[in-house]
Structure 1
Amino acid sequence: MQKYADYIEEIEIDSLWSGKKHIRWTLDRQVNILSGINGVGKSTILNKVVRSLSQGGEFPSHSLKGVRLKVCPDDARWIRYDIIRSFDRPLMASDSISKVNTALVTELDWQLFQLQRKYLDYQVNIGNRIIETLQGGEADAAEKAQRISQPKKRFQDILDDLFTETGKKIVRSENEIRFSQMGETLAPYQLSSGEKQMLVILLTVLVEDNKDYVLFMDEPEVSLHIDWQKRLIDLILELNPNVQIILATHSPAVIMNGWIDRVTEVTDITDK
């Protein structure tokens, strides 16, 4: 049976930048913020770790591609993880992807398209759990069922709050993500880059379904309003308290809500 780690305790990378550097980074259970000047290697470190993992999250006990992970519990060999890169660039394979949906123009559009499917699966899963709970006949079954549905409701409330200045509200009667604005219905692909980006991040976290996950984010502040940057980490942890955040950033706003002690400079974890 696959044994999944709760979180990563330490990342060690050998021979980074053609053998010139060695990285050893001891991580916090919840929030880890990698900082440094342009070109110092923040994104390189994150990408190196992600590339060392299989698509399903398996990692070997020995060094792979110069990467060693110490996890908790230490005998786990799998990690549930997500990676978010928030640059809203044009799709490289636009011809083939446009055959799936002509509305998909950028990388964030493609991410949203894939997340829509995960969102449908998530709703089926929580729906089944609610039915099972109600049919169990326990005295507090209704209360338990409400708790199961609470993360989805909170996700919807958060989006309504974030998008309030533009008058957008999530349509709660539909299974797919849709927004209403001044009597019109909008698909996620019609949002601004910043709105798409925040939706990608929060939807990714929601469909993790409160499981232990490692969330890698490379400069998630790109295109986000400064107020959204300040709230980002808190909103992620609210939607999934069991997530471990590992992010690289340039923005001081991301750490303003009490996260400055979770910042690590690349130079502090680098040995020559």
Structure 2
Amino acid sequence: MKANKIQKIEIRNIWGKYNFRWENLNPDVNILTGINGSGKTTFFNIIDALLSADIKRLKLYNIEAEVTIDDILISFRKDSTLASVRQKLAGVNYLKISTFDVPIRDRRKMGKEDSPLLSELKEIVYSVGENNNSFSDYRLRATNFPDQAEKINRRIRKFYDTVNHLFAGTGKTIEIDPMTNQLVFRDGDEIIHLYKLSSGEKQLLIILLRVFLMDEQPYILLMDEPEISLHIEWQYRLFEEIQKLNPHCQIITSTHSPSLFGDGWGDKLVFIEDLLIH
């Protein structure tokens, strides 16, 4: 199993004047912070574009960039081609989560009352098909692949335990409705459907489901300001719960919230101003 960890990031000519180098990234958690206007969001967007092989977006930034993953150097220059970048990225597992600004992929599938968050959440939970990676698809594996059923059911129970632990303060517990086979929450005798959850609850579920569906494979996870809408207690516990669901996940995140790094994560904190090179 490859480590699939970023070791170094270097981006030159941001806004035509700034060069950044981030070396010796932690294999587990990396937290980037800085004042507004320091280039943090642009830095993150360039990393996302490179790891997504989005050549058109990279060219718009007019930059040069390098990311070292394990012992592989992935670089972008003005003459770089899509094929050359994709070849270097072969075998790299990467995911960006932006739950506070979720794109609407297909408006035709949205209900009249669907928000972008709810639309994304429903897709993660219910989409079934050859190219989808959803919770429903994962549950079906236990039936389609009986030899994997024990492991699959064990992971699902672990996911439920994680969600119930985090939602304990609200009195809600997660379950599958036996009548509809839908993922719901229960509060006493009341059944709470996904659309009734708060923005913060939907956001937290999106993060946890995305990590769960990594299936404990080595992953690079990019999250830009994940604290948006999250209760302060969830902010404190977010990284811990992600690592429980996938201990092979390297988290790279940006934040303005001390709550994300105030509970034992201070040594993972990096100020973007300290990454400037001349």
**TM-score of Structure 1 vs Structure 2, range by shorter chain:** 0.7 to 0.9
In the other structure, the counterpart of 1:81 is 94
Query: How big is the alpha-carbon RMSD for the aligned residues of Structure 1 and Structure 2?
Result: 2.7
Q: Which amino acid aligns with 1:170?
A: I
Q: Which amino acid aligns with 1:22?
A: N
In the other structure, the counterpart of 1:243 is 249
In the other structure, the counterpart of 2:111 is 101
Q: What is the distance in 2 between the residues matched to 1:88 and 1:191?
A: 17
Q: Is the 8 A contact 2:14 2:63 kept in 1?
A: no
Q: How far 1:178 sits from its partner (Å)? A: 1.5
Q: Is the 8 A contact 1:122 1:209 kept in 2?
A: no
Q: Is the 8 A contact 1:4 1:80 kept in 2?
A: no
Structure 1 residues 58-84: Cα deviation after superposition (integer angstroms, max 9, x where no partner): xxxxxx952211011427633211111
**CA distance change for structure 1 residues 173 and 46 in 2, over 3 Å: closer, same or farther?**
same
Q: What is the distance in 2 between the residues matched to 1:127 and 1:23?
A: 49
Q: How far 1:4 sits from its partner (Å)? A: 7.0
* 1:149 and 2:149 correspond: no
Q: Is the 8 A contact 2:51 2:89 kept in 1?
A: no
Q: How does 1:120-139 map to 2 (within 5 A)?
A: 120-125=136-141, 127-129=143-145, 131-132=146-147
Q: What is the distance in 1 between the residues matched to 2:168 and 2:224?
A: 27
In the other structure, the counterpart of 1:181 is 187
SS of 1:11's equivalent in the other structure is strand
Q: How far 1:149 sits from its partner (Å)? A: 2.9
Identity %: 37
Q: Which amino acid aligns with 1:33?
A: I
Q: What is the distance in 2 between the residues matched to 1:182 and 1:88?
A: 32
Deviates more, 1:197-206 or 1:72-81: 72-81
Q: Is the 8 A contact 1:35 1:249 kept in 2?
A: yes
* 1:53 and 2:51 correspond: yes
* 1:23 and 2:35 correspond: no
Q: What is the distance in 2 between the residues matched to 1:178 and 1:12?
A: 44
* 1:43 and 2:41 correspond: yes
Unpaired segments ≥5 residues, structure 1 = 57-63, 135-144
Q: State the number of aligned residues.
A: 246
Q: What is the distance in 2 between the residues matched to 1:42 and 1:238?
A: 27
Q: How far 1:219 sits from its partner (Å)? A: 0.6
Q: Which amino acid aligns with 1:84?
A: I
Give the structure-2-normalised TM-score.
0.79
Which of 208, 215, 219 lines up with 1:213 in the alignment? 219
Q: Is the 8 A contact 1:4 1:77 kept in 2?
A: no
**CA distance change for structure 1 residues 234 and 69 in 2, over 3 Å: closer, same or farther?**
same
* 1:267 and 2:277 correspond: no
Q: Which amino acid aligns with 1:153?
A: R
Q: What is the distance in 1 between the residues matched to 2:263 and 2:230?
A: 16
Unpaired segments ≥5 residues, structure 2 = 55-61, 74-87, 128-133
Q: Is the 8 A contact 1:52 1:65 kept in 2?
A: no
Structure 1 residues 189-216: Cα deviation after superposition (integer angstroms, max 9, x where no partner): 2210111111111111000100111110
**CA distance change for structure 1 residues 98 and 162 in 2, over 3 Å: closer, same or farther?**
farther
Q: Which amino acid aligns with 1:255?
A: F
